[in-house]
Amino acid sequence: YINYARSIDRPPYMNLTLSPVYFSSTSRTIGNPKLNPSITNNLEFGFNTADLNFKMFGKYIDNEIFDYSYNKCDSVITSFKNLKGESQIGTDIDYAISPVSFAQLVLSATSYYDYAKYDNNEPTHSWNSYVNGKLALRLDKKGVFDMDIDYWDLFPQEEDGTKWKNRTDLSCTFNCNLI
C-alpha cells in the first residue's frame, strides 16, 4: 500500500494563554500566544498480511510545538515554541498473534532518523529505535473485564554528542466496561 496524509494540529488553549498555571511556588507553566499550528505531511509505503504489517515512512512536520523549561528567580518556568521543521525517515514492523481466544499479543519494532531545526537554526540529529509489546486479555466471556499489559523500551542512542541510556516503561491497566 501507499498512503499520504496531511494534517494540522492546532495548539490547545493552555499552550496559548499567558495566564500562568502554578504547580508549586517554584514551578509554573506559561503559554505562548504566538504559537502556530503544526502541519504534518506523512508518506508511507508498506504491506500487510493477516499477522504482519511492515511500512517505511517519511514525515515532515512544519511548526511542531514543543515545550521547554528555563530557570528564572529560583523558579522553573515551562513554556512552548514552534520548531522550524522536523523530518523523520524510518521503518515500522508490527506482528500480532492470538495464541488463545481470550488473549492477543502485539509486538512492534520501530527505527527512524530524526532531523529537527530550532529557532536558533542549530539542527539536531538523532537515530531512535524502540520496541513495544502489548498483551490484551479478555477476563470474562461477556467482555466486561479486560486487562492490558504494555511494555516500551527505547534503545540507547546518541543525539548531537549526548548519549542517552535505555528508557523503559511497563504498565498494567485493568478495565471494567460498563456500557
- Give the cell for residue 52: 504482519
**What is the distance, to the nearest Å, from the Cα of residue 64 to the centroid of all Cα atoms in its chain?**
13
Q: What is the pLDDT of residue 76?
A: 92
Sequence-ordered list of residues with C-beta below 8 angstroms from that of 12, at least 6 positions apart, any chain: none
pLDDT of residue 92: 96
Answer yes or no: are the C-beta atoms of 74 and 26 closer than 8 Å. yes
Strand runs labelled E in the chain: 2-9, 21-24, 27-29, 38-48, 52-62, 65-72, 75-82, 85-100, 103-117, 123-138, 145-154, 157-159, 162-164, 167-176
CA distance 166 to 21: 32
pLDDT in the model for residue 74: 87
Structure confidence by residue, pLDDT tens digits, 9-57 = 999 998 999 999 898 989 999 999 999 999 999 999 999 999 999 999 9
**What's the predicted TM-score (pTM) here?**
0.74
pLDDT at 163: 78
Residues of the chain below pLDDT 70: 119-120, 160
